[in-house]
A and B are shown apart, each in its own frame.
Chain A
Amino acid sequence: MLSKPFGKFASVALVTMMSSAVVLSACSSDNNGAAGSSASPGASASAAPKKEKVDGGEITTAYLGDPQGFIRFWATTTTSTEVIDLVFSTLYKFNEKQEIVPDLAVDQPTFSEDKKTMTIKLRTDAKWSDGQPVTADDVVFTYSIPINNDYTGPRKSTFSRMEKIEKVDASTVKITFKEPHAGYIDMMIYNILPQHILKDVAIKDMDKSEFFKKPIGSGPYKLTEWKASQYLTFTRNDNYYGGKPAIEKVTAKIVPDANAMMAQLQTGEINVVSVPADNLAAIEQFAKTSGKIKLQKDIPSTSYSFVGWNLTNPLFQDKKVRQALTTAIDRKGLVDGVAEGMGKVVNSQTAPSYWTFTDNVPKFDYNEAKAKQMLAEAGWKDTDGDGVLDKDGKKFEFEMQVNQGNKVREKAVTVIQQQLKKVGINVIPRVVESSAFTKNFQKKDFVSIYYAWSISGDPNPHGIWHSSEIESGLNTVSYKNPEVDKLIDEDLSTFDKAKRKEILNKVDALIAEDQPYTFLYSPTVVMAYPSNLEGFNPQRDSLKEVQKWYFTK
């Protein structure tokens, strides 16, 4: 009943392809790490600071879909996080290495001897955009929400180890944990809410309140208008404690079609946006000929894509076989051929920009001959001469699922299919509609699957790799290594960063050796900026640190 009676049925299939991009903006765009924004002092490496700085100016960016709203306890998409960071302050923010840097807080938190209580000092010069000061009461009010029984949002488990929060004085708060928790930094990036405005709103009604869509914050910008599905406009907050931002206005248009978005970049209707791989060549050409925009390439993200091998399947139970599979796949070629060079090959589970990253892990670089040899050593031989390996009368043949609507991934699976064919393995690609795809992943209903993680915040990988997460967590390939379990548990209660890095590097090495996934690559982002814009951090994408941007004359 929803098809138009005028025909055009031929394009129905295409709607599916084109529009899934909207929905996936949050979860599977290969270009976005779901990291928080950052105001890391001294981390900004702005280029060409000689030109004269202009006070004012306007930037227009675009998102594929609307943000959900302005409270992070309920709003989970990348788009939401970005607009929340324009309007609000947080205790700390993540920098590009996913370390916390103070925002409303002063210095790093201090811990008690037993690591169970944490004290945070607050700045005293922050004000809400209605003029009221931001105080410890606001912080206590905010953090009381996710630990309240009435809260049923998606962040309950993030705060499950927090027992209570108390005000010590007007500019100090104390948080008590149920047990020492090194991953506390994940709790520090939630936007602080104004108690004087929200105190009479019941917690269960907050995500339906007027405030959720018309927020008052203490961040660098104020929301001036939100026309649902059309645009959001922001004006700078002249009283921002971090200094008045140079860019006066920020507009975020909602453009649900990525091709249309690139057309708007060329017409000048938008001027700050990340450029997807399939449009890169055209936009590069446009930047060169028009001189209106410039491109910033190789911006790291904190996500990575991989092929997950279901370890309960007899095909993948031998470590040697998994290593051979990785050796048979030309991952660098995949980045260059499919992702237009926008990515960096990864060998284990930590994204390259992370502070815990190490390159010192076992690697299985592309080598077709070696892959064949490894498979032969594992007992896989082509005995019947049909070009497909077999063992005990069973052919090396399996299905690989990939989600529909992500062209880069669909292509990548085809390339992997061809490469594995060369070593005698038959892959049957299966493109699955996104929601069904997700369900298959979570229910472990796959043999092999092309997937991606967007990691942010604390580097402890319990949720994905600990064997206790096989049952109902995200360890859906059923990976179990007692040594990894032990190290992950140890890291959870280690507060010394150097020590943590050491532990987590060991985890990375063990997982790289076991190859429960074939780790493919971490996408990099290309941003388009107006050619006279400066002050942006070349290590960060989207609107991060926009308060430091400025135009030059």
Chain B
Amino acid sequence: MALYTLRRLLNAIPILIGITIISFAIIHMAPGSPLSQFTEDPTIKQVDKDNMIKAYGLDKPLYVQYWDWVSGLVRGDLGVSLLKNQPVADLILERLPNTLLLTVTSFLLSLLIAIPLGILCAVRAHSRLDQIVSGFTFVGISIPGFWLGLMLIILFAVKLGWLPSGGLQTVNADFSLIDRIKHLTLPVLTMAAGEVAIWIRYVRSSMLEVINQDYMRTAKAKGLPGNSILFRHGFRNALIPLATLFGLALPGFFAGAAILEQVYSIPGMGRLFIEGAFQRDYPVLFAIVTVGAFLTVLGSILADVAYAALDPRVNLSKQEVRG
């Protein structure tokens, strides 16, 4: 298995190099440039723009720019944001904790709700409960996050006045846990609403598949207590496909929730990326895309490894020998 992991990691290197080249090319091919912001101000002339293009190094041939950037990357230098005049690494470190706070909290919250509900729905498939929950999950999946966010703001912040409508903390106040929780409540709820719905679907279908397996029937025939069957035999096996999905969730933690960060004024990665995309702030875009790509690859490797660890039927060392 160690060998398998190592091979997967080595395999990932050309993939990552390919991703950097492709994303570099795509981002540069998109029309517009970091200077597009100077549009409706006629006092900034073409000469000024030419000057700045030179200062940004955007007048160099593309392969030189790519080489400069990659060699910086290898040295651990992600470059300096063209529009925020700040090292990209600093920007990411500043935003990442906020995003993680939002994404990980809502992920955990949604699992906490989705796993028991999903199991319950699988066990009582097609019951009244299952139908009601299914109804809610479809609503949850279809409601756009920004709309739900705005509705919650209008209800809980504007009408009822119970919770703040955005931001991470009260301005000018010292840090307090209660204050932070109050500010996070609405965004986490909004984000979890969609996630809960999806995870319930996953857990339910995964569980449903397992429940009708022969070994479940055998366990029941042996007279094992119901809970033990459900969790030791049932859920453990149902977790296997879920592990893959967890692995793929990893880059999502990092990338953040662009829409919600926007609606709730949370200074996170999603907003950084969107701002970067619209202003064509190349170094910021490259950095986020690259780290995102890296995490996606890492996530899928982790998922496969977890798959092997959870499922004794998958024996990687044998494949190793054969391959």
Contacts and interface: CB of A to CB of B under 8 A. Distances in A.
Interface of A: 1-8, 10-11, 14-15, 18-20, 22-23, 26-28, 34, 60, 65-66, 68-69, 74, 76-77, 152-158, 160, 186, 207-208, 212, 227-231, 233, 249, 251, 253-257, 259-260, 263-264, 266-267, 269, 303, 433-436, 438-442, 451-457, 463-464, 472-474
Interface string B7-50: 00000000000010000000000111100111111111111110
B283 interface: no
A231 B258 CA distance: 19
Nearest to A212: B85
Size bracket, chain B contacts? 35 or more
B251 A68 contact: no
Contacts of A463: 42-43, 45
A436 B32 contact: yes
Contact of B265 (A26, A256, A474): A256
A253 B170 CA distance: 11
Contacts of A77: 37
A31 to B, nearest CB: 13
A68 B293 contact: no
B259 interface: yes
B257 A4 contact: yes
A22 B171 CA distance: 21
A266 to B, nearest CB: 5
B122 interface: no
B293 A1 contact: yes
B43 A473 contact: no
B198 interface: yes
Contacts, number: 230
Nearest to B249: A5
B259 A18 contact: yes
Given A154-B44, A251-B172, A266-B158, A19 B262 contact: yes
B80 to A, nearest CB: 7
Contacts of A208: 80, 85-86
Contact of B48 (A18, A69, A154): A154
Contacts of A5: 245, 248-249, 251-252
A213 B158 CA distance: 33
B220 interface: no
Nearest to B293: A1
Contact of B42 (A11, A253, A433, A474): A474
B241 interface: no
B150 interface: yes
Nearest to A454: B40
Given A5-B245, A152-B54, A441 B37 contact: no
Nearest to B90: A228
A472 B39 CA distance: 14
Contacts of B280: 435
Given A260-B165, A473-B46, A439 B31 contact: yes
A297 B171 CA distance: 29
A474 B245 CA distance: 51
B92 interface: no
A440 B279 CA distance: 16
Contacts of A227: 267
Nearest to A251: B171
A393 B179 CA distance: 70
Contacts of B94: 228
Interface in B72-128: 80, 83-86, 94-95
Nearest to A28: B40
B239 interface: no
Contacts of A155: 44, 48
B48 A19 contact: no
Contacts of A3: 255
A453 to B, nearest CB: 6
A439 B194 CA distance: 37
Nearest to B167: A230
B141 interface: yes
A92 to B, nearest CB: 16
Nearest to B252: A4
A22 to B, nearest CB: 6
Q: Which 3 A-B pairs have the closest CB atoms?
A: A435-B32, A229-B267, A436-B31
A190 to B, nearest CB: 12
B316 interface: no
Contacts of A4: 252, 255, 257
A1 B294 CA distance: 9
A34 B154 CA distance: 32
Contacts of A160: 47
A5 B271 CA distance: 18
Interface string B258-288: 1101111101000101110011100000001
B289 A256 contact: no
B289 A2 contact: yes
Name, among A15, A251, A266, A439, the residue most crowded by chain B CB atoms within 10 Å (CB to CB): A15
Contacts of B317: none
A340 B157 CA distance: 27
A19 B274 contact: yes
B212 interface: no
A2 B194 CA distance: 17
B161 interface: yes
15 contacts: A1-B255, A6-B198, A14-B144, A15-B146, A34-B41, A65-B275, A76-B37, A154-B49, A158-B48, A230-B168, A231-B171, A269-B164, A269-B166, A463-B42, A474-B42
A528 to B, nearest CB: 15
Interface string B161-205: 100111111011000000000000000000000110010000000
B260 to A, nearest CB: 10
Contacts of A60: 171
Contacts of A255: 166-167, 265
A1 B259 contact: no
A22 B278 contact: yes
Contacts of B267: 227-230, 254
A65 B278 CA distance: 12
B32 A439 contact: yes
B40 A27 contact: yes
Contacts of B248: 5
Contact of A8 (B41, B145, B153): B145
B21 to A, nearest CB: 15
Contacts of A440: 31
Contact of A68 (B39, B85, B164): B85
A19 B258 contact: yes
B31 A6 contact: no
Given A10-B142, A160-B47, A257-B146, 13 more contacts: A10-B144, A18-B262, A22-B262, A28-B39, A69-B85, A153-B51, A153-B52, A154-B38, A230-B167, A255-B166, A439-B32, A456-B41, A474-B42
Nearest to B149: A260
B72 to A, nearest CB: 16
Contact of A254 (B36, B41, B83, B265): B265
B3 interface: no
A207 B85 contact: yes
A27 B30 contact: no
Contact of A269 (B41, B154, B165): B165
A257 B146 CA distance: 10
A457 to B, nearest CB: 7
Given A2-B292, A154-B44, A255-B265, A68 B83 contact: yes
A155 B44 CA distance: 7
Contact of A260 (B43, B95, B153): B153
Given A60-B171, A153-B52, A441-B39, A15 B259 contact: yes
A442 B31 CA distance: 12
A267 B83 contact: no
